[in-house]
Amino acid sequence: MSDLDPSQRSRHWRDSTETLVEVHPKSFGVKVDELTWGVLPAALERYRLGRHNWRTYVLFMCYDSNGRGDSQKQRCLSYDEKPLRLWIWLRDMGKHPAFMLKHIDDVKSPISVIRERHAGRQPTFTDFSVSGLDHAGADLRDSTYSVHSNVRDSSVATRHTSAIMGATYAVAIFPYWAEAPDELDVALDEAFIVLSRTAGWWMVQRNNPITGSVSRNPSKQGWVPSGALLETSIPVTTATAEAKTARISIPIPSLTSSVRPSKPILPSCILSASFQSVALRDYQAKGDGEIGLLTNDLVRVYKKYNHWAYIVQENGRRGWVPSWFLSKVPSDSS
Instruction: Collect all residues with Cβ–Cβ distance below 8 Å to 172 and sequence separation of at least 6.
Output: 186, 187, 188, 189, 190, 191, 192, 224, 228, 229, 230
DSSP 88-115: HHHHHTT---EEEEEEGGGS--HHHHHH
- What is the distance between the alpha carbons of residues 232 and 194, in angstroms, rounded to a whole number? 10
- Closest by Cα among 82, 86, 101, 96 to 35: 82
Kindly report whether the global pTM for this prediction surpasses the value 0.85. Answer: no
Helix/strand/coil percentages in the chain, nearest 5: 25, 30, 50
Distance CA 85, CA 65 (A): 17
CATH of domain 11-106: 3.10.20.90
Portions of the chain given CATH number 3.10.20.90: 11-106
Regarding the domain with residue range 130-232, which homologous superfamily does it belong to in the CATH classification? Answer: SH3 Domains (2.30.30.40)
Q: Where in the chain is the domain with CATH 2.30.30.40?
A: 130-232, 248-333
Under CATH, what is the fold of the domain 248-333?
SH3 type barrels. (2.30.30)
- How confident is the prediction along the chain (334 residues), in pLDDT tens digits per residue? 334 333 333 344 444 444 333 346 666 778 889 999 999 988 888 777 777 788 899 999 989 887 676 778 899 999 999 999 999 999 999 998 888 888 899 999 999 999 998 887 544 433 333 333 333 233 322 333 333 344 565 544 443 433 455 689 999 999 999 999 999 999 999 999 999 999 899 999 998 665 555 556 666 899 999 999 999 999 999 999 999 887 676 666 665 556 778 999 999 999 999 999 999 999 999 999 999 999 999 999 999 999 999 999 999 999 999 999 999 998 765 4
Q: Report pLDDT for 25.
A: 65
State the DSSP string of 21-46: EE--GGGG---TT--HHHHHHHHHHH
Q: Which long-range contacts (CB under 8 A, 24 or more apart) does 17-20 make?
A: 18/100, 20/98
